[in-house]
């Protein structure tokens, strides 16, 4: 596992103290890359106070205006989710996720997303993820503070790093680098337009088709060559449609 390839991304955090608490939780477990997406109050003295001796993590944090900007160069994304979704996504606990993150971090950039304190990540934000992470809690009281949730996830990464007998070599010997999230988003735009062109997708009644297509392709980590092949197929399909319609 390469901890320097793993970033913790906080989306639209409302309380600055939670940002400081997250920085401290990260440093406890050896992580240092903090990304803040449109924080409501930052920088703030409460964040600095809660960070305590993890001020360096806080000071080096990257602040972005959008989630797409924060994860554009990532090849593997995990989103935290506390509730079931209409379309179920691959859902794992922190220990199971740590194994996948371990492997993914050896040959690419990894992001772990944490949402707003009151409502977490939106459905659209979760749809950019490869996996969803859920922290099992008591049904009697399932609410976790943001810093606590980050601490649990980072602890499992630390335990995975220190696991006896753990292989330090990746089993994934690949001939091309994995594609980035930004490239995947361009692919999904291209795919949607092609499905509209061939009249498979009705834009006035899309239902959940694109959400399901996102889930399909997110389960399989595409490399750059594979993505180029798929984009080429879509482009040629659009050309055939244009010729069939007599478009110039």
Q: Identify whether residues 206 and 239 lie together within a single domain.
A: yes
Sequential DSSP letters for the chain? --GGGEEEEEES---HHHHHHHHHHHHHTT--EEEEES-SS-S-HHHHHHHGGGHHHHHT-EEESSHHHHHTT-SEEEEE--S--SS---EE-HHHHHHHHHHHHTSS-EEEEE-BTTTB--HHHHTT-SEEE-----TT-----HHHHHHHHHHHHHHHHT-TT---S-S---SSPBPPHHHHHHHHHHHHHHHHHTTSS-TTS-TTHHHHHHHHHHHS--BHHHHHHHHHHHHHHHHHHHHHHT--
In the prediction, which pLDDT does 163 show?
84
In the prediction, which pLDDT does 139 show?
87
Q: Identify whether residues 149 and 189 lie together within a single domain.
A: no
Q: Work out how many domains the chain is built from and give that number.
A: 2
pLDDT in tens, 86-130: 677 878 999 999 999 999 999 999 999 999 999 999 999 999 999
Residue 166 lies inside a defined structural domain of this protein = no
In the prediction, which pLDDT does 174 show?
77
Q: Identify whether residues 42 and 139 lie together within a single domain.
A: yes
Q: Identify whether residues 40 and 93 lie together within a single domain.
A: yes
Q: What is the mean pLDDT of residues 144-172?
A: 84
pLDDT in tens, 29-43: 999 999 999 999 999
Q: What is the mean pLDDT of residues 228-240?
A: 98
In the prediction, which pLDDT does 90 show?
79
For residue 212, the enclosing domain spans 181-245
- Domain stop point among 161, 196, 213: 161
Q: Identify whether residues 141 and 238 lie together within a single domain.
A: no
- Domain stop point among 116, 133, 161: 161
Q: Identify whether residues 133 and 226 lie together within a single domain.
A: no
In the prediction, which pLDDT does 82 show?
75
pLDDT in tens, 194-216: 999 999 999 999 889 999 999 99
pLDDT in tens, 64-91: 999 999 999 999 999 998 766 667 787 8
Residue 170 lies inside a defined structural domain of this protein = no
């Amino acid at each position: 596992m390469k901890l320097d390839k793993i970033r913790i991304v906080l989306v639209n955090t409302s309380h600055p103290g939670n940002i400081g608490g997250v920085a401290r939780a990260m440093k406890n477990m050896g992580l240092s890359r903090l990304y803040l997406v449109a924080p409501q109050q930052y920088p703030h003295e409460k964040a600095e106070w809660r960070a305590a001796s993890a001020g360096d993590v806080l000071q080096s944090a990257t602040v972005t205006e959008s989630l797409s900007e924060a994860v554009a160069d990532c090849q593997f994304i995990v989103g935290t989710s506390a509730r079931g979704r209409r379309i179920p996504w691959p859902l794992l606990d922190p220990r199971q996720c740590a194994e996948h993150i371990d492997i993914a971090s050896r040959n690419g950039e990894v992001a772990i997303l944490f949402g707003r304190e009151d409502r977490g990540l939106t459905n659209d934000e979760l749809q950019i993820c490869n996996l969803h992470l859920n922290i099992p809690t008591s049904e009697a009281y399932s609410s976790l503070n943001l810093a606590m949730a980050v601490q649990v996830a980072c602890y499992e990464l630390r335990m995975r790093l220190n696991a006896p007998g753990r292989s330090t070599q990746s089993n994934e010997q690949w001939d091309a680098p994995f594609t980035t999230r930004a490239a995947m988003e361009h692919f999904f735009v291209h795919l949607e337009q092609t499905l509209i062109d061939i009249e498979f997708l009705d834009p006035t009644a899309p239902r959940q088709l694109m959400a399901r297509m996102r889930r399909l392709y997110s389960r399989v980590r595409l490399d750059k060559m594979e993505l180029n092949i798929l984009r080429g197929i879509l482009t040629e399909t659009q050309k055939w449609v244009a010729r069939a319609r007599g478009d110039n």
